[in-house]
Homo-oligomer: A and B are copies of this chain.
Amino acid sequence: MATGRTHRPATRSRGIPEATVARLPLYLRALTALSERSVPTVSSEELATAAGVNSAKLRKDFSYLGSYGTRGVGYDVEYLVYQISRELGLTQDWPVVIVGIGNLGAALANYGGFASRGFRVAALIDADPAMAGKPVAGMPVQHTDELEKIINDNGVSIGVIATPAGAAQQVCERLVAAGVTSILNFAPTVLSVPEGVDVRKVDLSIELQILAFHEQRKAGEDAAAEAALPAVARDDAAIEAAADDVAASRKGPDGDVPAVMPA
């Protein structure tokens, strides 16, 4: 996912699978909603539906945390909220800095969900001197020169990069050098970081491309179904059967690139 070690190294630490960790926030959100409606207990089935997963997966996930349910009844909402929060480290306060206060950075700064769960925006940082001092989300933007000082003074260990792609790696290095060990990267670049630093990336354009892939496939299937075209390149049966031929014939360093589309 990222350049360095995104997932924990060999160590495997304590045995909560990464896939489970990625779902805990989902459960937490659903539980928080239930908690606000003062629902006392919830079954794996109900909670799973609310979180958009299936109940077996949810139960398995929870089993990694311990046995927090009651057979024949379900889970105590408040108790689970606490346990998951603790597991995720949300019972403590995480100061974060946002670097790059353009459209996106401003959007992030204004994002409410940020503050809600243990995260606190410690500073907004931008390289543009004209931005310095300007208030965004009720907070003055600070200049990049202050970066190291800010990180240190606030004990920041999580940084959010919302700069243009060109600046991201450099900002990343300064963050890491200053002591940041977790980075959320919104810039469309692969960041390279030293061992021990976690990077997660959020990339709009990648998400769209994945959707386009599936969308194209749907269109292909529809066409095949409706028009009953003969041997479209996406046709399953044809591909399966001719896999080797395709592999062989598809070769060629340039010349024989199919006109535009496999027609």
A-side interface residues toward B, CB under 8 Å? 1-3, 8, 11-15, 21-22, 24-26, 28-30, 50-52, 66-68, 70, 76, 78-79, 82, 86-92, 94, 96, 102-104, 106-108, 110-111, 113-114, 116-119, 157-158, 181-184, 188, 190, 192, 196, 198, 200, 202-218, 221, 233-234, 236, 239, 243, 246-248, 250-254, 257, 260-262
In contact, A113 and B214 (Cβ under 8 angstroms): no
Q: Are A190 and B26 in contact (CB-based, < 8 A)?
A: yes
Chain B neighbourhood of A181, CB < 8 A: 215, 218
A210 touches B94 (CB 8 A): no
A108 touches B26 (CB 8 A): no
A13 in contact with B234 given A210-B21, A247-B66 (CB within 8 Å) = yes
**Which one, B1, B204, B209, B247, contacts A202 given CB within 8 A?**
B204
Measured in the bound complex, the distance between the Cα atoms of B66 and A204 in whole Å is 27
Nearest CB of chain B from residue A22's CB, rounded to whole Å: 6
Q: How far is the CB of A196 from chain B (nearest CB, A)?
A: 7
Residue in B closest to A184 when the chains form the complex, CB atoms: B207
Task: For A215, list chain B residues within 8 Å (CB).
Answer: 89, 94, 157-158, 181-182, 198
Cβ contacts A to B, 12 pairs, < 8 Å:
A14-B239, A29-B188, A52-B192, A78-B254, A79-B254, A88-B213, A89-B216, A89-B217, A90-B209, A103-B110, A106-B107, A114-B204
